[in-house]
Amino acid sequence: MIQNARDPASPGAPEPAAPPGGVHPEEQLPSRPRGIDWRVWLGLGLTALYLLSGAYHVLIDVGWSEFRAQPLDAQGSFLEGAFAPLAFLWLVIGFFLQHRTLQESNHNIALQYVEMRRAGEHAAVQARAIAASERYSRQESFVRIADLVNSQLGVTAGLLYLANQRGAGEAAPDPSSELWTRIGEGDTGVFTRKLLELCYGPAGRRREASRIFFGTPIRRRYTEQFTRTFEALLDAARNSDVSGMLVDALVIGNAHGHLYRTIGEYQREADGGGEPAARARQTS
């Protein structure tokens, strides 16, 4: 009973509390002491003492010659009665030894549980780290792709702007050469802002703004190319960021996004509710 009360792995003992970090170190389950159990030493001592006492009784009190003179059945009955207490003693000791073996087995199972729990926690942390690394890699790849696509959108917007300049009868090389230089320097939204100025400036009436994008076949072709490219960029942003922050940044915080939504508004007027208009309403 004393051994059971002191054993942390016994069924009645409370489970070791987990530290704040949630990790159960092996130090909370101390290793079991090895060696012969004290009950065995006690049994051996009592057995030796009992045998010596029996030998003294036979040799001194009864006498060895008198004992040998007894019939065999009497000797057998004497030995049976003499060794019965020893048999009961070792039966009790064996019971406690088996109980200790069960305690050691429970202790080993508890250690295995701690190791399995720690392995599960490490696997969960590793899975989260892999997911975060994969998400970061997708976003980093998207940023590199977005730079190239923004350049493509800037060139498409520049061609659309030149188509409007030529349609207006203006000399395109002089005002646009500086704008193309700015695109080469990294300002990919310069022509996009110029188109927005044509749409929302003093001359940007609704009917005239619709002609900016759909007035001629070449303007419509550049407009549709701009829309397809920007929608592909939006799809890549959705796959890279499930929170939608990249999509909002492209549609709301970007000049190309404002032009994309403007094209959607005027395409509804020109085509009677086309696909880009619906996409513009979904992303706005």
pLDDT digits (tens, 9 = 90+) for 126-168: 998 888 888 888 888 888 888 889 889 999 999 998 888 875 5
Which of 23-37, 97-111, 164-178, 192-206 is the least confident region? 23-37
Per-residue model confidence (pLDDT) at position 269? 67
Which of 23-37, 134-148, 172-186, 203-217 is the least confident region? 23-37
Residue identified by tokens 């003992």 is 13
What whole-number distance in Å separates Cα of residue 146 and Cα of residue 19?
A: 46
Per-residue model confidence (pLDDT) at position 203? 52
Per-residue model confidence (pLDDT) at position 270? 63
Residue 72: pLDDT band (50, 70, 90) is confident
Per-residue model confidence (pLDDT) at position 135? 82
Please compute the mean of the pLDDT values over residues 172-191 and round it to a whole number: 76
What whole-number distance in Å separates Cα of residue 122 and Cα of residue 132?
A: 15
φ, ψ for residue 172, nearest 5 deg = -75, -35
pLDDT in tens, 105-122: 888 999 999 999 999 999
Q: Which of 20-24, 212-216, 241-245 has the highest mean pLDDT?
A: 212-216
Please compute the mean of the pLDDT values over residues 166-180 and round it to a whole number: 60
Please compute the mean of the pLDDT values over residues 86-96 and round it to a whole number: 87
Residue 202: pLDDT band (50, 70, 90) is low
Is-contact 228 281, C-beta < 8 A? no
Give the number of C-alpha atoms closer than 13 A to the C-alpha of residue 206, restricted to the C-beta side: 6
Per-residue model confidence (pLDDT) at position 9? 44
Which of 97-111, 164-178, 195-209 is the least confident region? 164-178
- To the nearest whole number, what is the mean pLDDT of the chain? 77
Per-residue model confidence (pLDDT) at position 218? 92
Q: Secondary structure of 137-173 in the HEC alphabet?
A: HHHHHHHHHHHHHHHHHHHHHHHHHHHHHHHCCCCCH
Q: Secondary structure of 17-62 in the HEC alphabet?
A: CCCCCCCCCHHHCCCCCCCCCHHHHHHHHHHHHHHHHHHHHHHHHH
Per-residue model confidence (pLDDT) at position 20? 45
Per-residue model confidence (pLDDT) at position 243? 79
Give 278's contacts (C-beta < 8 A, 6+ positions apart).
264
pLDDT in tens, 231-272: 999 998 888 877 788 888 888 888 899 999 988 888 776 665
Evaluate if residue 274 carries a pLDDT over 60.
no
